[in-house]
Amino acid sequence: MAKEAEVRLPRPTRVKNKTPAPIQITAEQILREARERQEADIRPPKQKITDATELSEYRLRKRKEFEDLIRRVRRNISVWIKYAQWEESQKDFNRARSVWERALEVDYRNHTLWLKYAEVEMMNKFINNARNVWDRAVTLLPRVDQLWYKYIHMEEMLGNVAGARQIFERWMSWMPDQQGWLSYIKFELRYNEIERARQIFERFVECHPKVAAWIRYAKFEMKNGEAARSRNVYERAVEKLADDEEAEQLFVAFAEFEERCKDSERARCIYKFALDHISEGRAEDLYRKFVAFEKQYGDAIVGKRSFQYEDEVRKNPLNYDSWFDYIRLEENVGKKDRIREVYERAISNVPPAEEKRYWQRYIYLWINYALYEELDAEDVERTRDVYRGCLKLIPHEKFSFAKLWLLAAQFEIRQLNLKAARQILGNAIGKAPKDKIFKKYIEIELQLGNIDRGRKLYDKYLEWAPENCYAWSKYAELERSLCETERARAIFELAIAQPALDMPELLWKAYIDFEISEGEFERTRELYERLLDRTKHLKVWISYAKFEASAMEEDAKGSDLAEDDLQEHHHEQKKQCIQHARRVFEKAINYYRTSAPELKEERAMLLEEWLNMESSFGELGDISLVQAKLPKKLKKRRQMVSEDGPAGYEEYIDYMFPEETQTTNLKILEAAYKWKKQKISDED
């Protein structure tokens, strides 16, 4: 019997090959395929209603479906909502209301029903009905804040401010959470009812006697400029909540309030009272704030810190970071004589070596000193003396600081002393010329409309740095903006004639763009030819060809011919411009084929550009011209060699052009002929 009762399991198949399958199938792939092969949902066909009888039959059928569904799932609120919304879509509002009321009989505690019901009434502008719904909702469900918010929002949108206030009062009688009270306060502030908001705050702190509520009340008073009232609120809060768990926040806020009121003694008393009444475990933030306060206002701590800094700067007077910290401490205390004394002592420690890297930190002592005298002490003469002293101290023959010259000049401009600013910048150019100084000086003069001064400065700038392409371009741009075309052209000519330039490509581009914008196409061609005499770079050829492709078209735009003649003229011009562009491309291809055969990639890119241009010409283009010249791409391998010898192979792309293919074929034929001839002679 035991043998008969045994369940015979199938023999496990033996896996012969345990290597991974060549194609791995992921769970993501299976799910994606399942989604792709999923059949579309079957939807009922759309029904078109043509007359009143069909409409009444449709409505009767839909209502029967909804009623049957409700009988089956009476407690499913979503079915009731769909039924009511369908009745609304049929514009039968009485039936819709009947459905909503029946649904509320099933579950009046579901606030979503009330929201949907009221929104339907509002959307269809049945305002009194909506009020009725909201009123019943907040009466039956007074603890659902959303109903109150929506009811109030509706009344406010209707401009019924008094009605909205009454609803708020009804809501507040239920003592809602803090957010409800704050919404009431914001409502009153929107209508500038400050006194009403104050009264609500009083009720708010009685309902929610929490630290956050009292702090909000005090900040409200401070925002309205009532410092005395704000202090009174803080004092009442301290009386009631001195032993509260969150009292630390209250004391910190009270002390910071007194700091803002410039009453440091009161703030100190508050901190000390708080530290006496709050245990150490809960007063970390309070203690940290007190220490920061004493650092700023406390003489004892300031004295101790001053002693520490004095010790540091005595040990190492060239440690400028210590001087910065010391000065910051004194500035927080705010005693002018003391601050100036520390600054004077700091700047007296001149770096021993005349190397710029040693002066870079030191120079900021002077800058901060000047800014302090100008902004905090508001002493113009002292500020001027600081800048003069610093500029006199720096060894300009070895190095200089453009930043300092510019700050000194800008200070004089702020004092409306333009003559002194010009003198400073002129000295800067004479003693230590720099790009920044020239640019700023030129900018100032041009903003003042002094064109001749700007020109003189550009002359000096270029005399100092004749290789600076930026300066040449800007100078020419200035002349062009003044409609001095010949002067601008002369400047460009001088620029490209310089033996050394830092960015010649930008200068040539600016010159070419200038000539194109002036409509001087012959001059532009001449420029391109001159540029090609200097460099045969790929970008120059492409730019030249693109110019030729568009130059004639632009030239034809201004003609005064009739419409038909203009079209014909335009067509002829376009043909001519295409011929010019092709000539440039052919010239470039010939150069790469004969003079630079090693630049195969550049030649291939040029042909690609030509092909694209022919395609853009439409019916006037001829792609076959280029296709016959296109190379074949070949993948090749070459050996890599490192310092230790051969280091493997790398793949690279090579190009084989049509003439190379023909040469290769001829060589193969010649070799075959020789082989055949040799074979015949061997047989003989």
Encode 273-325 in three state secondary structure.
HHHHHCCHHHCHHHHHHHHHHHHHHCHHHHHHHHHHHHHHHHHCCCCHHHHHH
Residue 670: what pLDDT?
64
Provide the pLDDT confidence category of residue 664 given band limits of 50, 70 and 90: low
Q: Whole-angstrom Cα distance, residue 178 to residue 412? A: 56
Neighbours of 336 (CB within 10 A): 14
pLDDT for 538-590, tens place per residue?
A: 888 888 888 877 775 444 444 455 566 667 777 777 877 887 878 888 888 88
User: Is 62:86 a contact under the CB 8 Å cutoff?
Assistant: yes
What number is the average pLDDT over the span 396-406?
86
Task: Select from 539, 458, 473, 470 the least CA-distant residue to 502.
Answer: 470
User: Is 474:457 a contact under the CB 8 Å cutoff?
Assistant: no
Q: Whole-angstrom Cα distance, residue 136 to residue 160? A: 19
Sign of CA dihedral 594, 599, 600, 602: negative
pLDDT: is 667 or 468 the higher one? Answer: 468
pLDDT for 475-501, tens place per residue?
A: 888 888 888 888 888 888 888 888 888
pLDDT for 248-263, tens place per residue?
A: 888 888 888 888 887 7
pTM for the model stands at 0.49
Q: Whole-angstrom Cα distance, residue 84 to residue 101? A: 10
pLDDT for 152-189, tens place per residue?
A: 999 999 999 999 999 999 999 999 999 999 999 999 99
3-state class (DSSP) for residue 262: coil
**Interior angle at CA 327, CA 321 and CA 333, nearest 5:** 145
Alpha helices per DSSP H over 158-283: 161-172, 178-190, 194-207, 211-223, 227-241, 247-260, 264-277
pLDDT for 337-367, tens place per residue?
A: 888 888 888 888 888 888 888 888 888 989 9
Residue 554: what pLDDT?
46
């003609």: which residue's tokens?
559
